Structure 1
Amino acid sequence: MRIIVAGWLRYAGDESTCAEIITTGRDHILAAREEKGCLAYTWAVDPIDPGVIQVYEEWESEKDLLQHFADPPYADMRAHLEQWEITGFGVQLYGAGMPEAVYADDGWPRKEIFGVTLEG
């Protein structure tokens, strides 16, 4: 089962704080992307609220994510993020089945998702 990690971190400071955190955290992001089972790993400044970093990760399995948490690069990444004042966060784990395409062959969003069709 694939694992999705998604959520947000809110930081004190001005509009440049989150951009600085991401820019100076580039090596941590790259290290995570090189880990076994990492399919996606990114931090992004929220385009509406620049005091928030949006987090997205995708891992091939629970074991791969647990190994990520146990490896030294994860501790280094946490130490990096904790250099600034975190004022709130909400990060969740999601188990996902096999991925399916959002768009149909014609380039438009699918009319059915996992067997459910919009009525009317």
Structure 2
Amino acid sequence: MRVIVAGWIRFASAEIAGKAIRAGADLIVESRTETGCVAYNWSVDPLDDGKAHVFEEWESEQDLLRHLRHRSYTQMRDQLAQHELSDFDIKLYSVAGIEPVYDEEGQARTTIFGVSL
């Protein structure tokens, strides 16, 4: 089953958040090459000073568990700890199904996983 990792990390300022992400760029690139990594992105929130968003998508629980023991993950944790990290909230989400947002005509879907308004 696919797994999503999503949340945010709070730094003292947007400048520090950007610096922390740039300092970990090689580790982000390395994580993107790991088996089962579908998406791996860190970004500074343009409207909330000091907040960085984390988004990851993994093919399976096993792939994510391997990542959590991989050098790229452990070194990123160590790297982030050097940048005035003040708070975070990152969660795991299991994905039971996947559908495109848009239908065959490019319109927003009117039914999602069999549910409609």
- Report the TM range for the smaller structure's normalisation: over 0.9
Q: Percentage identity across aligned positions? A: 47
C-alpha displacement of 1:98: 3.2
Matched positions, count? 117
Moved over 6 A (4+): none
Q: Partner residue of 2:10?
A: 10
Q: Name the TM-score, length of structure 1 as normaliser.
A: 0.93
Determine if contact 2:2/2:58 at 8 Å carries over to the other structure.
yes
Alpha-carbon separation, structure 1, partners of 2:84 and 2:20: 11
Structure 1 residues not aligned, in runs of 5+: none
Q: How does 1:1-120 map to 2 (within 5 A)?
A: 1-12=1-12, 14-118=13-117
Structure 2 residues not aligned, in runs of 5+: none
Alpha-carbon separation, structure 1, partners of 2:79 and 2:2: 27
Amino acid at match of 2:11: Y
C-alpha displacement of 1:77: 0.7
Amino acid at match of 2:68: F
C-alpha displacement of 1:74: 1.2
